Homo-oligomer: A and B are copies of this chain.
């Protein structure tokens, strides 16, 4: 028989790394994470990258591709990272997850002219945040 394994619970390293990212007000890079978790016994890059891979896979975090950095998912509705969108301030580097049902639906239904079937998308908007616009 093929065994069924439990979902929903994180392993030790995954939990440590998720907690760190979840508490961070800004996206964290892999080696920044490594630096912070060394006191908890996570000493080498593969340990960090493995946890990150898993957390991305299960949708607890997302990767901001243009910054090689990771944020915790703040939406419950971007199921398993299939539909992600972020706003990125080019000045202060603030990153927020865009939570817009219409946008998400619009893009999830999008079909291109060449007959591709899309399973997933990632959208990154760049501009100036409210605060940086004023300055």
Contacts and interface: CB of A to CB of B under 8 A. Distances in A.
A128 B110 contact: no
How many copies of the shown chain assemble into the complex? 2
Interface stretch (A6-14, A19-27, A72-80, A95-103): A95-103
A2 interface: no
B121 A121 contact: no
B87 A114 contact: yes
A127 B120 contact: yes
A126 B121 CA distance: 6
A126 B120 contact: yes
21 contacts: A66-B122, A87-B112, A87-B116, A90-B119, A96-B114, A100-B113, A103-B110, A107-B123, A112-B125, A114-B129, A114-B130, A116-B125, A116-B129, A117-B127, A117-B133, A118-B125, A120-B127, A121-B123, A122-B123, A122-B124, A122-B126
A130 B110 CA distance: 15
Chain A, interface size: which category?
A: 20 to 34
Given A116-B125, A120-B125, 8 more contacts: A65-B66, A87-B118, A110-B125, A114-B129, A115-B130, A116-B130, A122-B123, A123-B123
A106 interface: yes
Given A117-B133, A118-B87, A119-B90, A112 B124 contact: no
